[in-house]
Structure 1
Amino acid sequence: MLLQGRYRLIKRIGKGEFCKTFAAVDEGEFPPVACVVQEFSPEHEISNCFEEKAQQLKELGKHRQIPTLLTYFHQKQRFYLVQEFIAGTNLAQVVEEEGAFNETQIWQILADLLPVFQFISDRNIIHRDIKPQNIIRRTPPNSEGIGNLVIVDFSSAKIVTQIDWLTDEKTIGSPEYAAPEQTKGQAIFASDLYSLGVTCIYLLTQISPFDLFDIANNCWVWQDYLTNKNDIWRQDTKSFHLKKILEKLLQNTISQRFKSANEVMQAMGIQCKNESLELQNHLWHCSYTLTGHAAVLSSVNALAFYPQGKILASTNDDKNIKLWDLNKKKLIASLSGHRQAVKSVAFSPDGKILATASDDKTIKLWHISTLKEICTLLGHSHAVKSVAFSANGQILASGSWDKTIKLWNVNTGAEICTLTGHQLKVNSVAFSPQGEILASASYDRTIRLWQNNSEREFKNCPCYTLLGTLSGHAWAVLTVAFSPDGKILATGSDDNTIKLWEVNTGQLISTLLGHSWSVVALAFTADGETLISGSWDKTVKLWRVNTAEEIITLSGHTDSISAIAVNPVAQLIASGSRDKTIKLWQLVEQQGS
């Protein structure tokens, strides 16, 4: 069937009482472009004021997590909406193929979708059919790490700006997921939040919501049906917090339920605090921005402070390494030699050597005193994304997209050994402050801990063997950092979360939620009390390690954060960004405090 001479219906993919949904192609484009067409019968409520409702849906489609409304029209007493096709898999299919979701995945769903729910309700619209089938996980995921979940099918949506729509309506939506008031024809904004809660407990249990509700006692019993009975979230305090959030989403009584998506986000601790930037009578502010000329400083990839804190090293997309004098706030040297973008930089503990890693598959060692190259380390078969020195400065670890970690003798430049086991690309490596443990993070969603089990000479290695594997992130793990005492490991992920792990036991301590995009950089302050994180959401956040609470958000970059570093001797944080700048954040005492 061809509509308007260009929209060819391919197959029906959904059917309601008054609406049919078709996969289609727009033959008016070359080559033809996939799209989705919804056909409404004259009896559907959208036929009343069709133009106005279509305009509302067009406004909603401006959100990246709602399909764009391409056009609308009526033909032969039928009404049609043509929408963007979203490539991906709906959550009902995902749970069927991959099994029940874990705690981290549920946190991610809430963090990803709640801003969309607020966007919808702010425009006086109730979706009225939130369920796993109407939430699509994009394939492939967005490179930015956010907006991977898309809410589709607004055929049941209700606009509540007109008085006649505030009266009772027909029961609409899916009975398994509909809120009690919605089944009585009295849907409100909080009805969508209820349906989101039901969706979450279905994903956790993979059991029909009808079977998760005890009619005799008028309560949900979903916790009795958890697929993973030993899931740590049942004991973990942060996960207990998630249980409370789900319980409040699922309250039958409207007055006891969350009223808005913003209220849920506040309970989750993912809404930024805008009142002030105070921190124990102190104020963090951007004291200086290093920009340079376009030819001098391009997109910043990595940062490292000299051990005495007077020099900052930065790496960029222009293949060079920059050294900055922090006292004079000026560029003092530029090191060249890599053939592709430099992605990691690290000073040796004594400050005499600088190590750099590049997409050109090499690592280079440089003399700081002479600014001359010492040697080039060859061996990786793919881009090298991270380098780290051991505590004594004798070993250099490198992580590569060839899925391996290599250990190098800094004195001779010889390869000591290769650590294998990750199934996908290795993004980050870090030594514990004592040098006994090496951590590696990978796209395979795991962190591996490698232990130095020998004091033997390098030639008798492998000197590091696998101690354990940490799992829990829902997406790729991008960065790792040890606390100064080596007892805590922080990990940042594409799932927008930070996790704190107890190194000795491998147990998850807490999950930090607050960033809205991928967490790509982490660093502890010298006292170990504060964790700093950098994200593609353009912000730097500070967290109290002992309570897992967000302290402050530092904003100012106009593009994604790509790197952070903490000055070891001064109250100073450096952040690098794709906006081609480095910002220096200084802690200063407030006047009159």
Structure 2
Amino acid sequence: MICCLNPDCPNPLNPDRQEVCLSCHQPLISLLRGRYRVIKVLSDEGGFGRTYLAEDADKLNEWCVVKQFAPKIQDSSTLKKAVELFKDEAKQLQKLGEHPQIPTLLAYFEQDNYLFLVQQYINGHNLLQELRQGIIYNKSKIVELLLDLLPVLKFIHERGVIHRDIKPQNIIRRQIDGRLVLIDFGSSKQLTATVHTQIGTTIGSHGYTPIEQMQDGKAYPSSDLFSLGVTCFHLLSGIRPSQLWMQKGYSWVNSWHEYLANQDRDGVALNVNVDKVLDKLLKTEIDQRYHSADEVIKDLTYKPLLVPPTIIEPASRTQSFYLKHRLLINTAILLLGLGGIWYLQSRPQEVTRFANPNQPANITENSDQPQTLKGHASDVNAVAFATDGLTLASGSDDNTIKLWNIKNNQEIRTLKGHKKWIWAVAFSPDGKTLASGSADKTIKLWNLANGEVINTLKAHTDGISSIAFSPDGKTLASSSIDKTINLWNVSNGQLIRTFKGHKQAVSALAFSPDGSTLASGSWDKTIKLWNVATGKEIRNFVGHSELIISVAFSPDGLTLASGSKDKSIKLWNLVTGETIRTLKGHTDKVNSVVYVPKTGDSKTSNNFTLISGSSDNTIKLWDTATGKEIRTLKRDSGYIYSVAISPDGKTIASGGSADNIIKVWHLSQDK
């Protein structure tokens, strides 16, 4: 079929090879600009033209969206203003299309007295279509949605653009990766103190549009946030906001809770007060509303609400600290440090075994029932063993670090000093010092003999996501949501150097066994290798489809393992930079990976066991030589944010979101 480009044509579809439209008798254009084959009308733009689905003949008929500008305006000054706004829209799209969750501008041109812009086509369903298909939104899904979309709004607002028409129809869930994409910037304007509609109609949609935009034509970042809040209400309740607006004006937002059916009992335990966040998004008075996307993200990802995306994040965070600032995020997310980046409540499951005749070192459990260490008042984001194999450190959202004797199951000491949640802990190789990284942007070094702070390291401008001691104990590496990595002199607390190169938060760190190389994993979906001595980037690994949450070097230093929000683990050849294999089996984010150390006779073998912890509530043991799963250990419930292995390879500890506890499994390695 060929589509007529007369914006007034009542029946624009025509048979192929037709030269004149059968309906309006206008000449038909087979290829717009000699390249775009228009297939059908997607929408009418309220008297200003049409939007079409088209094929790009220069790109193997790849689908794209063609927007036609044909305003029915007689007044010359208004028409001139409308043309300027359409051109501004194209310029904005060219600028905003740099974001992966905004369609890319492909072309802008004039033909036959009409203006056209061509955009990337997003394959997927919009959120209204999802709702009509019977998809149910609970509050955990709303958190996930917010942590996925708020960074997009932050991006456009920082570039002086407001969307002005956020609603379920303008948010598409991209089929290829499930991410939310913001579309239809046709109502966008350059953000100024007073932005008025100049083309004869209020920009926005009844029910979703805030009062300042509806009455005065003015729009601000907080106007978009109001529309986002209404969108969340629509998804939660299934009630069209336009219906409530017609009946009650804006007064319905003061009692929006009354329209929800049993949402407070949706079976999901959240560490975020969703009602409180929506209350503030839906304030009629603009001065009482959130003023920036960052403010909402902070309330979603920082206690006492959610802790990152980490998600998204997403603190995935995820949602998990989608590491705890944006997050990204899936399911009740939050972004919490590394392992604790994305939050979600899962159902209790029992310990199960998987026998594998090829398993290395013949690892078996000594007991079906792991130890349980209780004492924290909130989620446990990080765990680490001391070199003695008997002392365990745990960092929590309760702002404390606890030291445990796992031989007698007793708490040794509680370390207090951080002002916010602990996202990372690490023992020095000599076992005398503990380092902790916090959402308060600081790292503390603790004297384990007396529990006092030796030094507080400050330089990062956002929360500390990961820390690692060099093998000789002289250097500490730290990564942050601020996209940087710092190296510190442990003896004097001085900053040695800063590594910059990642485009998003750096979520994971690991030193190579010889201490010469540092690996970093990031929300930008890449892993980088750095020369510790020079600070130069050695190599960049690309292959995961989602953000990186954890990395670990193999004991021989030849392989790197990485865990990702894409639910997979990749093993990388450090010499060639290629993927050796991908380990699949987890059904949610892989928050932590760690190799079982070489012990005894195993020092002569290159066959290693890898341990992974996931938000799917499982710990898995893998044979890295074959890529096969050896065994699965399951917690009672909740996410697993962090996994640690004792130096003798006989004990596994895990921290997570369920009941604020630590689980300890004792394993045996039969020769």
Question: Contact 1:342–1:359 (CA<8 Å) still a contact in 2?
Answer: yes
| Match status 1:505 vs 2:576 | yes
Letter matched to residue 573 of structure 2: E
Q: 1:389 & 1:403 partners in 2: Cα distance?
A: 19
Question: Contact 2:351–2:633 (CA<8 Å) still a contact in 1?
Answer: no
Q: 1:65 & 1:547 partners in 2: Cα distance?
A: 37
SS at match of 1:402: coil
1:206-225 CA-partner distances (Å, limit 9, x unpaired):
xxxxxxxxxxxxxxxxxxxx
Structure 1 residues 340 and 286: CA distance shift in structure 2, 3 A: farther
Question: Contact 1:405–1:420 (CA<8 Å) still a contact in 2?
Answer: yes
1:222-273 CA-partner distances (Å, limit 9, x unpaired):
xxxxxxxxxxxxxxxxxxxxxxxxxxxxxxxxxxxxxxxxxxxxxxxxxx99
Q: 1:405 & 1:37 partners in 2: Cα distance?
A: 41
Letter matched to residue 372 of structure 2: L
Q: 1:354 & 1:585 partners in 2: Cα distance?
A: 23
Q: 1:503 & 1:589 partners in 2: Cα distance?
A: 28
Structure 1 residues 85 and 575: CA distance shift in structure 2, 3 A: farther
Letter matched to residue 289 of structure 1: Q
1:561-593 CA-partner distances (Å, limit 9, x unpaired):
011000112511001111111111122589xxx
Q: 2:433 & 2:131 partners in 1: Cα distance?
A: 63
Counterpart residue number, 1:88:
172
| Match status 1:399 vs 2:479 | yes
Q: 2:669 & 2:373 partners in 1: Cα distance?
A: 26
Question: Contact 1:287–1:584 (CA<8 Å) still a contact in 2?
Answer: no
C-alpha displacement at 1:413, in angstroms? 0.5
Counterpart residue number, 2:654:
575
Structure 1 residues 285 and 394: CA distance shift in structure 2, 3 A: same
C-alpha displacement at 1:405, in angstroms? 0.3
Structure 1 residues 284 and 380: CA distance shift in structure 2, 3 A: same
Letter matched to residue 526 of structure 1: P
Q: 1:493 & 1:66 partners in 2: Cα distance?
A: 20
Structure 1 residues 338 and 549: CA distance shift in structure 2, 3 A: same
SS at match of 2:503: coil
Structure 1 residues 373 and 530: CA distance shift in structure 2, 3 A: same
SS at match of 1:516: coil
Question: Contact 2:465–2:506 (CA<8 Å) still a contact in 1?
Answer: yes
Q: 2:435 & 2:411 partners in 1: Cα distance?
A: 19
Q: 1:495 & 1:389 partners in 2: Cα distance?
A: 28
* Aligned with residue 408 of structure 1, among 482, 485, 488: 488
Structure 1 residues 328 and 496: CA distance shift in structure 2, 3 A: same
Letter matched to residue 346 of structure 1: A
Structure 1 residues 330 and 506: CA distance shift in structure 2, 3 A: same
Q: 1:435 & 1:392 partners in 2: Cα distance?
A: 8
Question: Contact 1:403–1:424 (CA<8 Å) still a contact in 2?
Answer: yes
C-alpha displacement at 1:505, in angstroms? 2.1
1:276-298 CA-partner distances (Å, limit 9, x unpaired):
567648336454433424xx342
Structure 1 residues 437 and 585: CA distance shift in structure 2, 3 A: same
Letter matched to residue 549 of structure 1: K
Q: 2:434 & 2:130 partners in 1: Cα distance?
A: 58
Counterpart residue number, 2:458:
378
C-alpha displacement at 1:406, in angstroms? 0.3
C-alpha displacement at 1:37, in angstroms? 9.5
SS at match of 1:478: strand
Letter matched to residue 567 of structure 1: S
Counterpart residue number, 2:501:
421
C-alpha displacement at 1:372, in angstroms? 1.2
Question: Contact 2:424–2:466 (CA<8 Å) still a contact in 1?
Answer: yes
SS at match of 1:357: strand
Q: 2:399 & 2:386 partners in 1: Cα distance?
A: 20
SS at match of 2:488: strand
Q: 1:336 & 1:526 partners in 2: Cα distance?
A: 31
| Match status 1:560 vs 2:648 | no
Question: Contact 2:366–2:666 (CA<8 Å) still a contact in 1?
Answer: yes
Q: 2:620 & 2:632 partners in 1: Cα distance?
A: 5
Q: 1:363 & 1:452 partners in 2: Cα distance?
A: 20
C-alpha displacement at 1:35, in angstroms? 3.5
| Match status 1:314 vs 2:385 | no
Question: Contact 2:127–2:172 (CA<8 Å) still a contact in 1?
Answer: no
Question: Contact 2:498–2:535 (CA<8 Å) still a contact in 1?
Answer: no
* TM-score, with structure 2 as normaliser: 0.48
**Aligned ranges for residues 296-445 of structure 1 at < 5 Å?**
296-445=376-525
Q: 1:37 & 1:406 partners in 2: Cα distance?
A: 44
SS at match of 2:374: coil
Question: Contact 1:286–1:584 (CA<8 Å) still a contact in 2?
Answer: no
C-alpha displacement at 1:465, in angstroms? 1.4
C-alpha displacement at 1:519, in angstroms? 0.6
Question: Contact 1:567–1:573 (CA<8 Å) still a contact in 2?
Answer: yes
* TM-score, with structure 1 as normaliser: 0.54
For structure 2, the residue ranges without an aligned partner over 5 or more in a row are: 1-41, 45-50, 54-125, 143-167, 182-310, 323-327, 332-349, 599-606
SS at match of 2:435: strand
**Percent identical:** 38
Structure 1 residues 506 and 273: CA distance shift in structure 2, 3 A: farther
Question: Contact 2:404–2:410 (CA<8 Å) still a contact in 1?
Answer: yes
Counterpart residue number, 1:178:
none
For structure 1, the residue ranges without an aligned partner over 5 or more in a row are: 1-9, 16-32, 40-56, 68-83, 98-137, 150-271, 454-462
SS at match of 1:475: coil
C-alpha displacement at 1:464, in angstroms? 2.5
* Aligned with residue 526 of structure 1, among 582, 597, 600: 597
1:159-206 CA-partner distances (Å, limit 9, x unpaired):
xxxxxxxxxxxxxxxxxxxxxxxxxxxxxxxxxxxxxxxxxxxxxxxx
Letter matched to residue 550 of structure 2: T
| Match status 1:283 vs 2:362 | no
C-alpha displacement at 1:433, in angstroms? 1.0
Structure 1 residues 93 and 438: CA distance shift in structure 2, 3 A: closer
Letter matched to residue 477 of structure 1: I
Counterpart residue number, 1:292:
374
| Match status 1:541 vs 2:620 | yes
**Aligned ranges for residues 101-250 of structure 1 at < 5 Å?**
143-144=318-319
Structure 1 residues 297 and 327: CA distance shift in structure 2, 3 A: farther
Question: Contact 2:653–2:663 (CA<8 Å) still a contact in 1?
Answer: yes
Q: 1:330 & 1:66 partners in 2: Cα distance?
A: 38
Structure 1 residues 148 and 353: CA distance shift in structure 2, 3 A: closer
Question: Contact 1:557–1:577 (CA<8 Å) still a contact in 2?
Answer: no
| Match status 1:472 vs 2:556 | no
C-alpha displacement at 1:451, in angstroms? 1.4
C-alpha displacement at 1:90, in angstroms? 3.6
Question: Contact 1:319–1:338 (CA<8 Å) still a contact in 2?
Answer: yes
Structure 1 residues 350 and 34: CA distance shift in structure 2, 3 A: closer
Q: 2:506 & 2:648 partners in 1: Cα distance?
A: 30
Q: 1:485 & 1:93 partners in 2: Cα distance?
A: 35
Of Structure 1 and Structure 2, the greater strand share is in 1
Count of paired positions: 357
Q: 1:448 & 1:147 partners in 2: Cα distance?
A: 22
Letter matched to residue 561 of structure 1: I
Q: 2:419 & 2:141 partners in 1: Cα distance?
A: 41
SS at match of 1:464: coil
Q: 2:136 & 2:561 partners in 1: Cα distance?
A: 37
Structure 1 residues 298 and 514: CA distance shift in structure 2, 3 A: same
Q: 1:484 & 1:589 partners in 2: Cα distance?
A: 17
Q: 2:513 & 2:447 partners in 1: Cα distance?
A: 23
Question: Contact 2:563–2:570 (CA<8 Å) still a contact in 1?
Answer: yes
Counterpart residue number, 1:516:
587
